[in-house]
């Protein structure tokens, strides 16, 4: 797929992250959480932190290729994710949930707007560039996750 994106450049890769990445931690000793440590939201945050780190690493690797890579936070969306968790489905929580259509606005903006043409390695929320967590800029972690991913996928 990457070769096709390069050949058809300018191209855009948009990864759907989450502000929950700010609560995540990368445990290189147990990346797949085989020890079953942590609660759902912390684990979700860790997966989104890993996604953000690897997205930034991919943007560096594709520098000069006219393929951009960015991460978006769609906001809290009214989906079925966590539907069995009563605390996330209270009337109070539902007041803060966006429709899937509203949640898709930043993705659509990044996919189609001339305003962001050529912008890469950034984090967006509400159609604006925002800083991601301090941990998400750790290039040593990003490179290490990249290498582990290559090993695990045998690429």
| Inside any domain, residue 4 | no
| Inside any domain, residue 1 | no
| Inside any domain, residue 154 | no
| pLDDT of the residue at 129 | 98
| Inside any domain, residue 29 | yes
Least Cα distance to 56 among 100, 13, 96, 25 occurs for 13
Q: What share of the chain is helix, strand, coil (3-state, %, to 5)?
A: 50, 15, 35
| Inside any domain, residue 43 | yes
| pLDDT of the residue at 42 | 86
Strand pairing report for 122-125 and 128-130? antiparallel
| Inside any domain, residue 155 | no
| pLDDT of the residue at 122 | 99
Phi, psi of 56 (to 5 degrees): -65, -40
In this predicted model, what pLDDT tens digit does every residue of 94-136 receive, in sequence order? 677 888 899 999 999 999 999 999 999 999 999 999 999 999 9
Q: How far is Cα 24 from Cα 124, in angstroms, rounded to an integer?
A: 18
Q: Which residues are catalytic?
A: 44
pLDDT of the chain, 155 residues: tens digit per residue: 999 999 999 999 999 999 999 999 999 998 888 877 778 888 999 999 999 999 999 999 999 999 999 999 998 888 776 555 555 455 656 677 888 899 999 999 999 999 999 999 999 999 999 999 999 999 999 999 999 999 999 98
- Looking up residue 89, the CATH number of its domain turns out to be 3.40.50.720
Range of the domain at 129: 9-146
- Domain count along the chain: 1
Instruction: Determine contact, residues 41/21, Cβ cutoff 8 Å.
Output: no
| pLDDT of the residue at 40 | 82
| Inside any domain, residue 23 | yes
Tell whether omega for the bond before 27 is within 30 degrees of 0, i.e. cis.
no
| Inside any domain, residue 51 | yes
């Amino acid at each position: 797929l990457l070769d096709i994106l390069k050949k058809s450049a300018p191209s855009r890769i948009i990864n759907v992250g989450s502000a929950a990445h700010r609560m995540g931690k990368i445990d290189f000793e147990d990346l797949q959480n085989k020890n079953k440590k942590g609660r759902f939201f912390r684990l979700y945050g860790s997966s989104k932190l890993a996604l953000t780190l690897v997205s930034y690493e991919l943007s560096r690797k594709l520098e000069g290729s006219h393929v951009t890579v960015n991460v978006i936070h769609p906001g809290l969306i009214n989906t079925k994710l966590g539907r069995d968790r009563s605390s996330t489905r209270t009337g109070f929580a539902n007041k803060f949930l966006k429709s899937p259509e509203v949640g898709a606005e930043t993705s659509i903006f990044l996919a189609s707007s001339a305003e962001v043409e050529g912008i890469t390695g950034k984090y967006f929320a509400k159609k604006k560039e925002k800083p991601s967590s301090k941990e998400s800029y750790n290039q040593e972690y990003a490179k290490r996750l990249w290498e582990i991913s290559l090993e695990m996928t045998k690429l």
